[in-house]
Amino acid sequence: MEVKLLSGALGAEIKGINLKDTSDNNFNKINDLLLEHKVLFFRDQKITEEQHLALAEKFGPLETHAYVKGLDKFPEIVRIIKAEDEKNQWGENWHSDVSYNVKPTKAVIIKSIKIPPVGGDTCFSNMELAWETLDEKIKEKIKDKKAIHSSLGAEFFIDNYKKMEGNGKKNYGEYSNEHPIVRTHPETGKKILFVNWTYTKRIIGLDEKESDEILKKIFEHQARLELTCRFTWTENTVCIWDNRSVIHFAIADFYPGRGLGHERIMDRIAVEGDQPH
Ligand code: SIN
């Protein structure tokens, strides 16, 4: 096995692990690597949808997305499509997937299907390191507090993207839930900064002005480049991220002459998480 680190902060590209092998022994190896590096990349993986699902199921029960319709044959697979003539793409700001749910996603297993010749990299940031390196005064202020996370509604996930389809549920409003700002990782026991620019709206117990000021500082801190890694996709890459301990950002740098006019397609499977504590 070969492990190539993507940066000093997090992320590793792995060679020599067979993702079709769903034995406990192989899964434990992958999970140990995930806990250590937080996001893993495996290039040249010609796995079928069934094999993609079998790999994801090793991490736990699968989730269906709050708003988005999965594939007809495989409802747990959400096909994320940036159409040829779209500038924007799904996930183009820092976030942790569905952090507005009572039980936000544990892990995401995503496979690149179609990748533009230029543009569309994804960045990840390490929220364990973000907590460790956060200003001590801010830490003291927020360490026992909770924050409100709200979804931005169906429009954000579906109506903004031509080729994305809703799941037909009637209740398309916002979901809002409270989570501790510092959560404990259920497998490693490490402290993690659990807020994100896209969904975290308010620190409970602070007035609005102070909450806004502190969140702004935290969001700037989380995005510091020395906490991040950046991955340039090739087709048939499988990526697994620990959604409890990273935030991510899919860069929408589709400018004329530099990749605009190309489709980008990813197949995403999410694994159910637990309630942050
Ligand atoms: C996401 O934010 O879930 C999608 C990531 C990507 O397409 O790179």
Low-confidence ranges of the chain (pLDDT < 50): none
Question: What ligand 1 atom has the least distance to the C-alpha of 239?
Answer: 8
pLDDT of residue 256: 77
pLDDT of residue 267: 98
pLDDT of residue 113: 98
SS3 58: coil
Q: For residue 90, how far is its CA from the centre of ligand 1 (angstroms)?
A: 6
Question: What ligand 1 atom has the least distance to the C-alpha of 80?
Answer: 7
The single-letter DSSP state of residue 226 is G
Residue 58, in any domain of the structure = yes
Residue 48, in any domain of the structure = yes
Q: For residue 37, how far is its CA from the centre of ligand 1 (angstroms)?
A: 18
The residues, ordered by sequence, that sit 6+ positions from 62 with a Cβ below 8 Å of its Cβ are 53, 56, 76, 269, 270, 271, 272
Residue 84, in any domain of the structure = yes
Residue 95, in any domain of the structure = yes
pLDDT of residue 127: 98
Smallest CA separation from ligand 1 atom 3, residue:
91
Residue 180, in any domain of the structure = yes
Smallest CA separation from ligand 1 atom 6, residue:
250
Residue 273, in any domain of the structure = no
Smallest CA separation from ligand 1 atom 5, residue:
250
The residues, ordered by sequence, that sit 6+ positions from 107 with a Cβ below 8 Å of its Cβ are 34, 56, 59, 60, 240, 241, 242, 243, 270, 271, 273
Q: For residue 250, how far is its CA from the centre of ligand 1 (angstroms)?
A: 5
pLDDT of residue 25: 98
Pocket, ligand 1, Cβ cutoff 6 A:
80, 90-91, 97, 122, 248, 250, 266, 268
pLDDT of residue 167: 85
Question: What ligand 1 atom has the least distance to the C-alpha of 266?
Answer: 7
Reading across the β-sheet that carries 228-231, which strands appear in turn? 228-231, 122-126, 246-250
Determine contact, residues 164/90, Cβ cutoff 8 Å: yes
Tokens of residue 228, six digits: 């991040």
Residue 275, in any domain of the structure = no
Tokens of residue 214, six digits: 């502190």
Q: For residue 159, how far is its CA from the centre of ligand 1 (angstroms)?
A: 17
Q: For residue 249, how far is its CA from the centre of ligand 1 (angstroms)?
A: 7
CA angle 161, 167, 170 (to 5 degrees): 110
**pTM (2 d.p.):** 0.96
Q: Structurally, how many domains does the chain consist of?
A: 1
pLDDT of residue 171: 65
User: What is the domain range of residue 68?
Assistant: 2-268
Residue 277, in any domain of the structure = no
Question: What ligand 1 atom has the least distance to the C-alpha of 122?
Answer: 8
SS3 54: helix
Q: What is the CATH number of the domain that holds 143?
A: 3.60.130.10
